[in-house]
Amino acid sequence: LQWAILFNVVGSVVSVAGVLAIRMPAHATAAARPDLRDGLRYLREHPTALPLVLLSGVAAFVLGILLVKFVGFAMDTLGLRTGGVGYLVAAGGAGAAAGMLVVGANRAWTRAGWLPFAQLLVAGGMLGLLSRTTSPWLAAPLVFGLGAVVATLMIQIDTRLQAQVEELRRG
């Protein structure tokens, strides 16, 4: 367990160093000095930006609740200890990586209108099946699939939002 924590600490330090090393030109909106009111007004007036931002927020909120409940489910229902919960979380992470590779390799899917709806249906089905299982061996592939669906669902929402909002308004 200590090696995993140390690995996360090193990974975080490397990530911070990598982000600090990025040199970016000032955003196009830096000269205009927009404030929160400008952003909220833009969202209210734009026909599709507000629903996409709300959908992204709801998805993040539901994912947060799922993560909290997941630990209790894994320990109480599946009878796992800390290491087993870690393996299930790793299965979700591996699924997220696999999902990103699959969707990233197929550019047509990044703009497919049907994909987010299908992903939500698949995620709902997997959550339903996961709630009925008491075996960690059945839960692991379901968590893998959930990781793939949830990670790529956020990609779909962000891609649509970037396609709708002009460059000057992003930031």
**Is 165 within 8 Å of 119 (Cβ atoms)?**
no
Quote the DSSP letter at residue 27.
P
Mean pLDDT of the residues in the chain: 81
CA distances for 53 relative to 60, 100, 149, 161, angstroms: 11, 21, 19, 8
Give per-residue pLDDT as tens, 121-166. 998 899 899 989 999 999 999 999 999 998 888 777 777 777 777 7
Closest Cα to residue 158, out of 63, 66, 49, 61?
A: 49
Residue range 74-110, pLDDT digits in tens: 999 999 998 999 999 999 999 999 998 888 788 777 6
Dihedral sign (CA 19, 25, 103, 128): positive
Supply the pLDDT for residue 167.
67
- Nearest one of 73, 113, 70, 109 to 93, comparing CA atoms: 70
pTM: 0.64
